[in-house]
């Protein structure tokens, strides 16, 4: 069992992500002991993000974890099971996945793509 310390949310944004089928809770917690900035627990449907990052890096990490979920939805979840992928295939999957994720999570993507100094 993974133990983690949940802290007061440093960054304010929607604390859930919907992949079109399932909801994922977003938890801001220290991942320092694991030497990570973010991770997805697919079984528990939780995105863990370490808020000890500056805002631009935090947003990149959140998007990175969302992309893991999006690829999982399109069957690209396990490196060992990956087909030989062409540039056109991965571009098409990424385009479809990002468009789908955006439409299901507009407020979260507004946060991710909002201007940051």
Long-range contacts of 68-74 (CB under 8 A, 24+ apart): 68/40, 69/17, 69/19, 69/24, 69/40, 69/42, 69/101, 70/19, 70/94, 70/97, 70/98, 70/100, 70/101, 71/97, 72/42, 73/19, 73/20, 73/21, 73/97, 73/100
Average pLDDT over the chain, rounded to an integer:
90
Q: What is the pTM of this model?
A: 0.88
What confidence tens digit (pLDDT) does each residue in 58-78 have? 999 999 999 999 999 888 877
What confidence tens digit (pLDDT) does each residue in 2-29 have? 445 545 799 999 999 999 999 999 999 9
- Look up the CATH number of domain 16-112: 3.30.2010
């Amino acid at each position: 069992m993974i133990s983690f310390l949940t802290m007061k949310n440093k960054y304010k944004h929607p604390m859930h992500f919907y992949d079109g089928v399932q909801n994922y809770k977003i938890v801001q917690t220290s991942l320092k002991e694991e030497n990570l900035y973010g991770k997805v627990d697919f079984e528990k449907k939780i995105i863990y993000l370490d808020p000890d990052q500056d805002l631009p890096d935090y947003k990149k990490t959140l998007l990175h974890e969302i992309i893991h979920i999006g690829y999982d939805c399109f069957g690209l979840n396990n490196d060992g099971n990956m087909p030989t992928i062409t540039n056109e295939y991965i571009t098409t999957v990424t385009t479809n996945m990002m468009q789908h994720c955006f439409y299901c999570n507009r407020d979260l993507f507004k946060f991710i793509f909002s201007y940051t100094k």
